[in-house]
Amino acid sequence: MRLFLKPNDTFFFRDGRPFTRGEQSEGYSIETPSPSTVMGALRTAYIAFCGDMERFASDQMKSVIGTKQSLASASIQIKGVFLGRGDGPLYYPTPRDLVSEKKSGSATLYPLSMESQSDTFSSNSKLSTLLTWNNSTVQVEHAGGYISGDNLRKYLLGETSNLTSEKSGFIIDEPKVGITRSHKTLATDEGMLYRINMKRFSDSEFGFVVDVDGIDQLPESALIKLGGEGKSFSYKITTQKTDPILADDCSTVREMVRDSGKFKLYLATHAIFNDGWLPKCFHGDIELITAAVGNYVTIGGWDVAHRRPKKVYRAVPAGSVYYFRVINGEKTDAILDCLHYKNMGTQRTQEGFGLTYVGAMSK
């Protein structure tokens, strides 16, 4: 089931930086909600529409949304959270092995090339192959922003030319200044002036698409609270496709992987691995060649059961790309089936972290 969530006003999704009353005066918001934030909102909506807190507290809903302590027994599963426009296209984080010309304002994307470490080129990387930019006359940088579903499909099919990023500013800042008032005097508490960086879509047709299974009992459309300050979103069931690879494309990707013996793995959502950026949890019949990984993002949350912050993880950011070599060609189909549009990682995959797409590579 896929849901389209449309904000009714501004929205605010906390990043990993602390925002303690009286200590920090500014709170920052990320552009798109963490999958775990959406998971919390959907579980709360299920309690409101399909029961009550008493039933939830007595574990009568654990088969669908789990318990206060765990999601282990729950059927609910989020695949991912995406930026989208109404019934139109979806947008994904730009793959990190694509770059744009620095300070040019151009939306054109260029691929990095693989370079083996040698006597003339070396680094402290543990990998024998690195992704580099070989044109010394042009300065480039990570493009950032988003890439359309059509462009991501071309990228996953091995095309590296005529790719463009989306730099139209889908989400804009709308700062809000507030105060904390004393419960006794109703006057402003000293040192309690704060500012939070609210967000708003530049186009009212935009929203977030959530691919979620195991919670079909929700109404087809309703209002839910999502993110900071209890902001409301309206949602409805949508038919938007969240996997950019079409049915006819699957055989093309498989043939290209068999031919080259290599493939890419693109992260559509943040992923948490026990070994930092290194995905040792993947299948033993493949070998990591190289990777384009961004700076870590902090994933936390609030533990309702114990009324304290959850354990904080450093996650690999969405848009990161890993290059693999297939060791056993006879298992190519099985390997790709295990990896494409699956949630990979060692932590919180049920909440939507670590969604991966398989992409083809030329020889």
The residue ranges of every structural domain in the chain are 2-89+169-238, 247-360
Task: Give the model's pLDDT for residue 194.
Answer: 74
pLDDT digits (tens, 9 = 90+) for 330-344: 888 988 999 999 999
Backbone angles phi, psi at 18, to 5 degrees: -65, 150
pLDDT digits (tens, 9 = 90+) for 309-329: 888 889 999 999 999 999 888
Position 64 confidence tier, pLDDT thresholds 50, 70, 90: very high
Residue scoring higher pLDDT (266 or 308):
266
How far from chain centre, in Å, is Cα 227?
Answer: 16
Backbone angles phi, psi at 247, to 5 degrees: -60, -40
Position 147 confidence tier, pLDDT thresholds 50, 70, 90: very high
Tokens 């848009």, residue? 319
Q: Does domain 247-360 have CATH number 2.40.160.40?
A: no
Residue scoring higher pLDDT (229 or 58):
58
CB atoms within 10 A of CB 117: 13
305 Cβ neighbours under 8 A, 6+ residues apart: 68, 69
pLDDT digits (tens, 9 = 90+) for 2-18: 999 999 999 999 876 66
Residue scoring higher pLDDT (309 or 138):
138
3-class secondary-structure state, position 107: coil
Measured CA distances, 258 to 303, 342, 356 (Å): 45, 20, 19
pLDDT over 80 at 24, yes or no: no
Highest mean pLDDT among 12-16, 99-103, 300-304: 99-103
Burial (CB count within 10 angstroms: exposed 0-12, middle 13-18, buried 19+), residue 48: middle
Q: What are the DSSP E strand ranges found in 8-76? A: 26-27
d(CA 147, CA 151): 6
